Chains A and B, each alone.
Chain A
Amino acid sequence: MNDASIYIAAAIAVATLCIYLAARRKPNPAGAETARNLISSLDIEAFRNLVDPEEESFLRSNLTADQFRTIKRERAWAALAYVRILFRIAPEFTHFGNALQSSSDPRLVDLGQQMVGSAVNLRLYALQASTRLLVAATFPRLAQRPPLFLFEQYTHTAGLLLRYGALDHARKQYS
């Protein structure tokens, strides 16, 4: 019976997790507002500086080894906070992209598809960057590659949102 209890516990855990995921799917009316606040709190330039390899080599040559390790760790943790914001913004782009796909305008449908794809990539890159930054915080002596792909993806996704703004503006003008 002991063996069976383990399997039953596992089955209950799986069922509970399924129910939890289903419950968490309920629409969050504050989603768009939360995303806007997150975007407002994001200083991309400061983020870029935190992971700039030139700045890192400058610090490496001007600080003692101990000081550099401490500073590198702090910079990695700070950069990680920015990555977390991008990680949280991405699903908001996905929801918006999904909403656009229900539109009757084929241009908006196309834009919606692009936005969802781009947001998924943004989330993946944010995950990848988080791993790298965690490694950098744990092993500060290791050379760090800047997460340029993350900035590029964010700019691309944001560009799609701007394109939506332009389309929407044009639609309002001609209607």
Chain B
Amino acid sequence: MMHGYRFLLYYLWIAPHILLALVAIVMRVKRLDISFPLFALYAWYEVAEFALLFAIAVTKLIQGMLYMRVFLVTLAVSTALRFGILQEIFNNVFREHGRADAIARVLLRWTTGILLVAAISCAILAPGPTSGSLIATTAWLGRGIAIVQCGLVLFLLVFSRLIGLSLQSYVFGIALGFGVLSSVELANWAMRGGDLTESTRKALDLLTTGGYHIAVLLWLAYLIVPAKRVLQHADGPPASVEQWNSELERFLR
């Protein structure tokens, strides 16, 4: 049982980072790193972060508190990059739609403000870290950050759908991956805020790494799978266009 758990944990730790390197390579090949430089940087950064932490864990050169500090510093950079990526997605989605872009920017500011207030309120109203440990304090902070990120991803997906803007396949994939990732992190940090039994801690380790794996698979799938819908109409527009025209001509007469 223990052996199976260790195997699964190592798989969920290693495999997503190999796939993430593949995501970065596919982005380079498709030249998508020009439109999404921060996402490409994030992918390489996560791979490098994994290599560092994995080396520390395997070689057992530095352990315990120092490992935790390296983990937390890299996590902070990773979190900052995620906010940057969300901004990058917004810029790419709304940039060419003047009026929609202006409205989206105003709404984004308001949404971010409201989410920050919500996160701070939750932090104030909810009991603080049960222990003064680094993990409990990080969980307390991480929960607030996850609330803001979840809200921003939802806002992006819902608002673009509301105004009828169909996101390009890979853009939608990136946003969807972050939606899954931030929701898993919200659950993870909420649970880690309290006192945990050994089995709950192990289950949470699997939840976070599993959620990360799903997010990476989503990014890879949406990058590789072609957007069938667009290709379908590229050279042969729907036959009903002529019928549309006759209807429209009737209105414009």
Contact = CB atoms under 8 A, between A and B. Distances in A.
Given A99-B230, A99-B232, A124-B163, A165 B242 contact: yes
A161 interface: yes
Contact of B164 (A21, A40, A90, A104): A90
B180 A100 contact: no
A91 interface: yes
B245 A161 contact: yes
Given A165-B245, A168-B237, A155 B180 contact: no
B184 A11 contact: yes
Chain B: interface size category: 35 or more
B233 A102 contact: yes
Main secondary structure of the interface of B (DSSP, over half): helix
Contact of B99 (A27, A121, A155, A158): A121
A55 to B, nearest CB: 20
B244 A36 contact: yes
A78 interface: no
A165 to B, nearest CB: 4
A127 interface: yes
A39 B231 contact: no
A134 interface: no
The 8 closest A-B pairs by CB, nearest first: A99-B233, A7-B190, A102-B234, A91-B164, A18-B179, A11-B187, A14-B183, A11-B186
Interface of B: 96-100, 103, 126-127, 143, 146-147, 150, 153-154, 157-158, 161-166, 172, 176, 179-180, 182-184, 186-187, 189-191, 193-194, 228-235, 237-238, 240-245, 247-249, 251-252
